[in-house]
Amino acid sequence: MINWFVERGSTYAEQIDNVILIIALITGFWFFLTMGVFYYFLYKFQAKNVDRAMYIQGTEKKYKRFITWPHFVIIAMDVVIIVVAVRAWVHVKQHLPKAEATVRIIGQQWAWTFVHPGPDRKLDTEDDITTIDHLHVEVDKAYHYKLLAKDVIHSFSVPIFRLKQDAIPGRTITGWFEATITGSYDVQCAEMCGIGHGLMAARIHLRKAKEHRAWQKKWWRSRLNCNDGDPKKKANADVARWHKMFGPAEKCQLAPLALGK
């Protein structure tokens, strides 16, 4: 089956899709109506027919109504588009729900750097996790993002969220999203930002709280010198750091796999 739309993965994705759908329906209606009238007249007034087309300049009132009435209908439909679009804009770009977590996103030629809060859920603390081209997000949590650009204008685009936001050098742009589905999806730069623009793709990984925490542990395990599982070695500063982050009950070193005899 062909997917008509890219999957929807954020709380506001449906609202954005509805704006696009309403514009497509309204413009589609007028397109088929005007094309229908056009081809009908082509047929009716073709050379071999007796009927001749009149040359009407629209100066008389009785002819003007063919212009003015459709015009009013189009204006009314424009108002519908404006209301739906402005409502979506205010919800997505101008209103900011309370943050349950914040990530920093930095665009540069040609990669994305993501700074995630660690287990304490706070940014700019010791347990932050920095990755290149992989953004890790917990579902059902309102995230704020702080978007920066190091060199030129980039655009942070997450199609499943229906989110696109320019990143401007010298500015920190704050926005938000809340993921609703799990899985790994595309992130792309949506602004021509130089010769490597096409390479500026990344992935977003959406996980439930438990799996998200498991990812945090995996990331830290790979960077710390864990030896609290080995009684022959002395615990070191890295292990202390681990227990500070994940709690005293959480083992830093995984038990060796029992391979059997």
Interface positions with Cu ion (CB under 5 A)? 154, 189, 193, 200
Nearer to Cu ion, 147 or 200 (CB): 200
Nearer to Cu ion, 106 or 139 (CB): 106
Nearer to Cu ion, 154 or 207 (CB): 154
Nearer to Cu ion, 23 or 190 (CB): 190
For residue 192, the minimal CB distance to Cu ion (Å) is 8
Rg (CA), the chain: 28
Nearer to Cu ion, 189 or 245 (CB): 189
Whether residue 218 contacts residue 128, with contact meaning beta carbons closer than 8 Å, is answered with: no
Nearer to Cu ion, 136 or 154 (CB): 154
For residue 133, the minimal CB distance to Cu ion (Å) is 12
Whether residue 176 contacts residue 156, with contact meaning beta carbons closer than 8 Å, is answered with: no
For residue 116, the minimal CB distance to Cu ion (Å) is 20
Whether residue 16 contacts residue 162, with contact meaning beta carbons closer than 8 Å, is answered with: yes
For residue 186, the minimal CB distance to Cu ion (Å) is 14
For residue 148, the minimal CB distance to Cu ion (Å) is 12
For residue 60, the minimal CB distance to Cu ion (Å) is 57
